[in-house]
């Protein structure tokens, strides 16, 4: 759905076109030639030297601003560039941030089983991941772009495998969830029968996110491992919500588990995404 090159709305402005075109050939000179052809010297009465200097300034500014364009919300907090509110509103638009995020991480969105999802569904999930799974979520002052997933966090997610690899923990987790939801779910029997498969699916998705291919296939995996099994058993959305809430919360009662903060960072985002993805 989104190519690796991404989409850069900055190219829709004159300065952006000059900067991006110049960077493709000789710095500044091609951009100057482009502006000369537009008739700017005749329109303004400027000299060639002034145009050269002005274009150089635009070129430098473009490259200073470029890294902020990968993380549009940071434009609100920077003081270097005087950007009109209308332009800021365009650049921080959630849809733009989602497109950049998806292009940067090359998420697969075009598979047949994902065709029922709208751009709004993907944008909603992108916003959650940007807020919670990126370097910028940990430290808003880091130089790394908000579109870069926190590699240390993804590496740490392997620690969650103990929840399904340790039979005692898995059995206790299931017992806690079933005790809390008995009499509250219309699909309780189906949930009880499929709990271990669902849990393995959600935890294994986390453990594989150290590999680029598995990051790309995140939405495919979520639909295959969770959405489709629940849909085939006719879970209503409210039962999905109750299950995910209790499934997430019950981990805090597992005495043998030592990665509560990591779990919350993962499941807090995943729960929101799954609820958004669960529809016809």
**Would you say residue 35 has pLDDT above 60?**
yes
Give pLDDT, residue 57. Answer: 84
Question: What are the tens digits of pLDDT across the range 118-131?
Answer: 988 998 999 899 98
- Per-residue pLDDT, averaged over 240-263, amounts to 95
Q: Long-range contact list for 142-145, CB < 8 A, 24+ apart? A: 143/67, 145/67, 145/70, 145/71, 145/104
Question: What are the tens digits of pLDDT across the range 181-229?
Answer: 999 999 999 999 999 999 999 999 999 999 888 999 999 999 999 999 9
Phi first, then psi: give them for residue 178, nearest 5 degrees.
-65, -40
Token pair in block for residue 179 = 């005790």
pTM exceeds 0.75 for this model:
no
| Confidence tier at 93 by pLDDT (50, 70, 90) | low
**Would you say residue 42 has pLDDT above 70?**
yes
Give pLDDT, residue 208. Answer: 93
Quote the CA–CA distance of 48 and 36 in Å, as a whole number: 9
| Confidence tier at 233 by pLDDT (50, 70, 90) | very high
Phi first, then psi: give them for residue 187, nearest 5 degrees.
-115, 35
Give pLDDT, residue 74. Answer: 66
State the first-to-last Cα distance of the chain, in angstroms, to the nearest integer. Answer: 20
Burial 29-65 (b: 16+ CB within 10 A, else e): ebbbebbeeeebeeeeeeeeeebbebbeebbeebeeb
Question: What are the tens digits of pLDDT across the range 46-85?
Answer: 888 898 888 888 777 777 766 666 666 666 666 666 767 7
Question: What are the tens digits of pLDDT across the range 105-156?
Answer: 889 998 999 999 998 899 899 989 998 998 877 665 555 456 789 999 999 9
Give pLDDT, residue 191. Answer: 98
Give pLDDT, residue 231. Answer: 97
CA angle 261, 264, 267 (to 5 degrees): 150
pLDDT higher at 98 or 172:
172
Burial 195-214 (b: 16+ CB within 10 A, else e): beebbbbbbebbbbbeeeeb
């Amino acid at each position: 759905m989104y190519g690796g090159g991404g989409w850069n709305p900055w190219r829709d402005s004159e300065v952006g076109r000059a900067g991006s075109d110049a960077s493709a050939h000789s710095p500044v000179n091609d951009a100057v030639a482009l502006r000369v052809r537009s008739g700017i010297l005749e329109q303004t009465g400027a000299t060639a030297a002034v145009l050269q200097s002005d274009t150089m300034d635009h070129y430098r500014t473009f490259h200073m601003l470029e890294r902020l364009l990968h993380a549009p919300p940071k434009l609100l907090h920077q003081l270097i560039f005087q950007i009109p509110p209308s332009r800021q509103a365009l650049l921080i638009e959630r849809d733009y941030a989602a497109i950049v995020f998806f292009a940067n991480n090359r998420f697969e969105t075009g598979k047949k089983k994902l065709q029922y999802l709208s751009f709004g569904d993907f944008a909603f999930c992108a916003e959650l991941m940007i807020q919670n799974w990126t370097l910028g979520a940990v430290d808003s002052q880091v130089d790394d772009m908000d579109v870069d997933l926190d590699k240390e966090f993804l590496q740490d997610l392997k620690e969650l495998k103990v929840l399904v690899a340790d039979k005692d923990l898995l059995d206790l987790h299931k017992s806690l969830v079933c005790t809390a939801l008995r009499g509250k779910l219309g699909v309780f029997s189906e949930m009880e029968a499929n709990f271990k498969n669902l849990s393995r699916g959600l935890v294994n998705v986390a453990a594989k996110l150290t590999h680029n291919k598995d990051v790309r296939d995140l939405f495919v995996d979520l639909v295959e491992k969770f959405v489709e099994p629940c849909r085939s058993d006719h879970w209503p959305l409210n039962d999905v919500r109750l299950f995910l809430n209790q499934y997430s919360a019950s981990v805090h009662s597992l005495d043998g588990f030592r990665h509560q903060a990591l779990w919350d960072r993962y499941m807090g985002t995943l729960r929101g995404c799954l609820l958004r993805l669960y529809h016809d």
